[in-house]
Amino acid sequence: MLAIAACAAARLNFPDPDTFWHLAVGERILQERKVPTTDVYSFTASGKTWLATEWLGEVVMAQAARWGGPPAATVLLWGLASAFFLLLYSLALLRSGSAWAAFLACLAVLPLAATLLTLRPQLIGHSFLLLLLIALERFRQGSARSLFLLPVLFLIWVNTHGSFFLGLCVLAGYGIAGLVPSFRVGGIVSLPWTADQRRRLFVVLVLCVVVLPLTPYGVRLATYPLEVAFLQPVNVAIVSEWQPMNFGFRWGQIFLAMLLVLLVAEAALRPEQRLEQFGLLLTAATAACLHRRFALLFIVVFAPYLAALLARWLPVRSTPGRPVQKVITALGTAVVLVVMFPSRQAIDQAVAQRYPAGAVRYLREHRIGGFLLNTYTWGGYLIWAFEGERKVFVDGRADLYEYAGVLSDYHDIRQLRSTAPALLDRYGVGACLFDRESALVTYLVAARWTPVYHDDMSVLLVKP
């Protein structure tokens, strides 16, 4: 049931803005058998140093697309979404001891997760975070077998997504919390590690750090999260997923409801939590309020907390099903998933509703001179659609454009700052592909740029 619910939530989430450039980069790595070190997709930052910091996840995505295009990529998305929620269920079950509580807690966070279940290495990275938390929870409950697999997990993780840094902080936080002397304040308790547990955790933490430089780029991938935090202020300031949670939209209101549940539970019920669990929950809630990007981290932490609450009123153990019932359930699930799976036409239509597919066809059929100014969220799609043959102004690789000074210039052009006309001339822009409701389109029409193509979503203008 969780697999069906997760796949239904992610059904047509294939066309995420970043999915396309991830696919293009992964395909290039498969073709050239090496990771990129400079940009080849833009004219604004062409030749500048750029690292594919999520190269392993991109290769997995591109390999799936090789097997069957967008439908195969959608199969991968469904598999990752199902895996994420089944791992979340496993962690919630470990925390609560109740299958029903774990199941209902996962369903409760599904509305918040729905828009985050997209085909990006981020989803793989947060699944790795769940694996880490499951290993640590089992270690707390007396099983250390999975703990020594964590260095292998971090070796794959650092090459897949920057969320490995969150995992490193979680691992260190669990270790530090176990050094605090035993105490109880309300429902928060400190359970010190034994000497043997401290020694094992320390060895594993050291091994996890040691493997981080084992990447095609050396230590650069290990330090990249710190670059985002301290060296990319424009990226963090203007890219939407780094913005604070907006409580005026439905998605933000769902998050707010979960925060209210958390506050009421802490005030009225005071559920027992270990110090490290409480610290992680507080950190995740704060991070999600400050940056929408961390909503997935909040989901990872909140669902087990909610399951532990619900377990107070729900059966601790479910009744095991008979083998025949299990087979029928598995076959029924498979049938439902096959029936739910979107056709190629439905996938193409979902892409066309969000991206300028018509304008791309026009550009293929007509010769348009000069460099093309495009909106940020369409850059990855243009890279993928043109297979790198037509260079873009900007795309979702914000780090590249931040260091090249392009990201702030793009923001000035889009906001129609006084420097916009000079910037258009400086970059040699001869055409503009933007959303038709943009103020920039109105300005360019007034400046006598010629609309040569338009539809319900996009406008293609040519400089006179």
Cβ neighbours around 156 below 10 Å, total? 15
What CA dihedral angle connects 245, 247, 253 and 255, to 10 degrees? 20
Q: DSSP code of 41? A: S
pLDDT tens string, the chain, 464 residues long: the values are: 899 999 999 987 877 889 999 999 999 999 999 999 999 999 999 999 999 999 999 999 999 999 988 899 999 999 999 999 999 999 999 999 999 999 999 999 999 999 899 999 999 999 999 999 999 999 998 888 889 999 999 999 999 999 999 999 999 999 999 999 999 998 899 999 999 999 999 999 999 999 999 999 999 999 999 999 898 999 999 998 999 999 989 989 999 999 999 999 998 988 999 999 999 999 999 999 999 999 999 999 999 999 999 999 887 665 667 888 888 988 998 899 999 999 999 998 989 899 999 999 999 999 888 899 999 999 999 999 998 889 999 999 999 999 999 999 999 999 999 999 999 999 999 999 999 999 999 999 999 999 999 999 999 999 98
Indicate the residue type of 93.
L
Per DSSP bridges, beta strands 429-435 and 273-274 are: unpaired
Task: For residue 459, give the nearest of 437, 439, 433, 438 by alpha carbon.
Answer: 433
Q: What is the C-alpha to C-alpha distance for residues 239 and 405, in angstroms, rounded to an integer?
A: 15
Indicate the residue type of 251.
W
The enclosing H or E element of 344 equals: helix 344-354
Task: For residue 379, give the nearest of 369, 393, 366, 368 by alpha carbon.
Answer: 393
Q: DSSP code of 355? A: S
Task: Return phi, psi of residue 433, to 5°.
Answer: -120, 105
Assess contact for 282 and 173: CB atoms under 8 A. no
What would the two tokens of residue 70 be?
Answer: 């967008």
Task: Return phi, psi of residue 374, to 5°.
Answer: -125, 160
pLDDT value at position 30? 97
What would the two tokens of residue 299 be?
Answer: 């989901």
- Classify residue 214 as exposed, middle or buried by CB count within 10 Å of its CB (0-12, 13-18, 19+): middle
pLDDT value at position 317? 61
Q: DSSP code of 432? A: E
**Predicted model pTM:** 0.95
